[in-house]
Amino acid sequence: MKPNTISLEHGAGGEVMQALIGEIILKNFRNKSAGSVGLECLDDGSTISLANFNPSSELVLTTDSHVITPAFFPDTNIGRLAVAGTINDLTVMGAKPLALTCAVIVPEGFSLQDFEEIIKTMDETAAEVGVPIITGDTKTVEKTALDSIILNTAGLGITDNPIRDSGLRPGDKILVTGTIGDHGISLMAHREGFDFDTDLVSDSAPLWKLIEPILKLRTPEGEPVITAMKDPTRGGLANALNEMAAKSGTGILIEEDLIPFKRAVSAACEMLGLDPLEVANEGKAIIGVKSGFEEEVLSILRQHPYGRDAAVIGEVTAENKGEVILRNRFGGMRYVDMPSGDPIPRVC
């Protein structure tokens, strides 16, 4: 009879581990090669062919470890979070994702069915942007050492024009690719057992296909239209905008009424005493766009399902260097500060 949970042997390098790799990992990763040596070779490493790229391009390398409790949440799992997170880190650098790695640390006793589900989700997420997962590693640890699965995904991308989070210039418009706070609030509601009577789910999504077309846009002078990008993950919009303002040496003024929020997110934040600007997103990008090109960028973004709610939310200012300011519909203004820690609900 087949075991239905992970045991320490699954990471011991022997036959049991080979079976796990063969039956679950190799079987479910459909796209696993980026060169002459791919994952299916089970060699000590894999290769990536650069034959079709401009020799003056630059490679972009990023890595991210993912821990999330619970590993399954509405309506996806840690596998999507890990793959989309790494693809998005490459994407906001302006880099086409070439290949991903997948390292797993899993405690004994973890359900094999859940494990396979996570691997399948990783494959589906990577398939959305056509990036192969070409190498990996599996370790199992004792139950007492870890209570859930840890995924690490590294990603290699390539670009002719790296986009920085420090590239904002006064006058640029600030865009977001969709509604803010969905991931953080859906997760909090799921963890705490709140039912907000809506189908609010995590926005976790790989953004390469959404962003790729706007990277090609140039001004009549031949300059890139996109000046800066960042993904507002932990710490939300507040954290990402502050970093962008500080690193660019500019101010940012955003208009409250222009920021797209789902009704359930604003209501839940109001009820729990949270600031939706500080809540995590896993499928959104903040984009700096040269003034005058924002409508063109918006119309391209809105053609993709992940960009349907894209909006211009503000602009970059020369004054208030390093500060983010929010203006509401009757002119009231306040600073949007860096969040100090995890959002904590308040008393009443």
Partner 1 sequence: MSPPEKRVLMKMEKGNSPSMSAIPELEKKLLERIRNSKVSLRIMHVCGTHERTIAKYGLRSVLPKSIDVISGPGCPVCVTPEEDINIAIALAKSRATVVTFGDMMRVPGSAESLLDARSEGADVRMVYSIDDAVSLAEKKPELEVVFFGIGFETTVPANAAALLRNTPENFSLLASQKRTPPAIELLAGDTNVDAFIAPGHVATIIGTKPFEPLAKKGFPVVVSGFEARDILLGINLLQMQVEEGCSRVDNGYPRAVKPEGNPIALRIMDEVFETSDSEWRGIGRIENSGLVLRKEFEEKDAAKKYEDLYASFLDDIRKKAERKDKKRCICAAILTGKAKPHQCPNFGKECTPKVPAGPCMVSQEGMCYNWFKYSREGGSKLA
Q: Using CB under 8 A as the criterion, which residues of the chain lie in contact with partner 1 when the complex forms?
A: 191-198, 263-264, 267-268, 270-273, 325-335, 337, 340-341, 344-348
Please, what is the minimum distance in Å from the beta carbon of residue 322 to partner 1?
Answer: 12
DSSP 8-state code for residue 321: T
Measured in residues, the chain has a length of: 348
Residue 200 beta carbon to partner 1: minimum distance, rounded to whole angstroms: 9
Looking only at the bridges linking them, the beta strands covering 311-317 and 226-230 are unpaired
**Element (H or E) spanning 267, and its range?**
helix 263-272
Angle CA(269)–CA(315)–CA(181) in degrees, nearest 5? 20
Query: Would you say 218 or 334 has its CB closer to partner 1?
Result: 334
Distance CA(107)–CA(144), nearest Å, equals: 8
Closest distance to partner 1 from the beta carbon of 321 (Å): 13
In whole angstroms, give the CA distance from residue 152 to residue 10. 18
Lookup: tokens for 244 = 């962008």
Q: What is the nearest approach in angstroms of partner 1 to the Cβ of residue 180?
A: 16
Return the amino acid letter for 181.
Answer: G
Q: Which is nearer to partner 1, 78 or 253 (CB)?
A: 253
State which residue, 34 or 274, has the beta carbon closest to partner 1.
274
Least separation in angstroms between residue 48's CB and partner 1 is 42
Nearest-approach distance from CB 164 to partner 1, in angstroms: 26
Output the smallest distance, CB 347 to partner 1, in A. 4
Bridge partners, 140 (sequence order): 106
Backbone angles phi, psi at 21, to 5 degrees: -65, -45
CA distance 67 to 85: 12
DSSP string, 37-96: S-GGG--S---B--TTS-TT-EEEEEEEEE--SSSEETTEEHHHHHHHHHHHHHHTTT-E
